[in-house]
């Protein structure tokens, strides 16, 4: 499945473009840990980390509004990692975009199968 | 207005200087997404925590922007470097303008 084109809708593309300013995004350098199957889309545990990242944005490409959260790391951030719990409307790709300290952008994505959607639909 | 909003944080009591420690935070909040409708079909207005920050002795650790896709009772876990003894300040910003804070001291051994 890793070789299929990304199933990212237009709103998710817009959100990514707003974050990167249209800069090129390369794969790799970001760790995104997400469950393969989430029984309940209301709380899906997600962990992202990217060594040397200034900030990391999480996108749920299949949600009505794709933005999930943006973590900006300060001077005293330990490992550049964050975990949280998110809502997913259905089976979809979760994308993490990391803005590195040198201004480049890296991405990782993970497909999550959702049994019960989490957006009140 | 969200009721019974209660922040909870887990910080180790002590660390060695320069060590990276794991911090866990959770705040009880409905995180109403604005997508749902009530029984009459009227949309329920959005009411979420839209920003979370953590500072240590005035230096920023993390500043997160949250969207409606973050779950009810938003839980955030991250790591911070502890250069000296001091106090962590955690701040949550609500859509309705409320600001919730919690502080936790940490000793350096």
CB contact under 8 Å between A82 and B76, yes or no, is: yes
Higher per-residue pLDDT: B22 or A10: B22
Q: What is the pLDDT of residue B76?
A: 96
pTM: 0.88
Tell me the sheet residues that pair with B66: A69
Q: Which two tokens stand for residue A86?
A: 């998110």
Q: How many CA atoms lie within 13 A of A44 on its CB side?
A: 36
**CB-based contact, A64 to chain B, within 8 Å:** yes
The residue assigned the tokens 């019974």 is B4
Report which of A97, A95, A90, A92 is spatially closest to residue A115, judged by C-alpha positions. A90
Distance from CA of B102 to the nearest CA of A (A): 18
Pairing of strands B86-94, B99-108: antiparallel
Preferred mutation among A76, A89, A93, A96 to probe B, highest tally of B CBs within 10 A: A76
CB contact under 8 Å between B79 and A77, yes or no, is: yes
pLDDT band at A8 (very low <50, low <70, confident <90, very high): low
Distance from CA of B107 to the nearest CA of A (A): 16
Strand segments, DSSP code E, in A61-103 are 67-73, 77-86, 92-100
Hey, what domains does chain B have and what are their CATH numbers? 6-36+44-108 (2.60.40.10)
> Are the C-beta atoms of residues A97 and A54 closer than 8 Å to each other?
no
pLDDT digit string (tens) for A26-65? Answer: 998 899 999 999 988 899 999 999 998 999 999 998 888 8
**CB-based contact, A8 to chain B, within 8 Å:** no
pLDDT digit string (tens) for B7-48? Answer: 999 999 999 999 999 999 999 998 888 888 889 989 989 899
Strand order from edge to edge, sheet including A77-86: A31-33, A44-49, A77-86, B75-82, B19-28, B6-10
> Are the C-beta atoms of residues B70 and B48 closer than 8 Å to each other?
yes
Reported ipTM: 0.90
């Amino acid at each position: 499945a890793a070789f299929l084109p990304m199933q990212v809708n237009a709103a998710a593309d817009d959100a990514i473009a707003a974050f990167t300013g249209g800069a090129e995004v390369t794969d790799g350098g970001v760790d995104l840990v997400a469950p393969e199957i989430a029984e309940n889309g209301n709380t899906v545990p997600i962990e992202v980390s990217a060594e040397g990242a200034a900030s990391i944005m999480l996108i749920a490409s299949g949600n009505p509004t794709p933005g999930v959260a943006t973590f900006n790391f300060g001077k005293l951030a330990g490992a550049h990692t964050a975990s949280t719990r998110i809502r997913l409307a259905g089976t979809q790709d979760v994308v993490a975009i990391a803005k590195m300290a040198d201004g480049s952008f890296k991405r990782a994505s993970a497909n999550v199968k959702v049994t019960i959607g989490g957006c009140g639909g | 207005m969200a009721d019974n909003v209660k922040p909870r944080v887990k910080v180790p009591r002590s660390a060695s200087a320069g060590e990276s420690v794991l911090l866990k935070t959770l705040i009880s909040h409905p995180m109403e997404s604005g997508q749902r409708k009530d029984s009459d079909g009227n949309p329920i207005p959005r009411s979420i925590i839209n920003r979370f920050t953590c500072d240590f002795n005035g230096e920023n650790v993390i500043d997160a922007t949250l969207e409606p896709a973050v779950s009810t009772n938003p839980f955030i876990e991250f790591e911070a470097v502890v250069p000296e003894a001091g106090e962590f300040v955690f701040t949550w910003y609500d859509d309705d303008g409320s600001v919730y804070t919690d502080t936790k001291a940490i000793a350096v051994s």
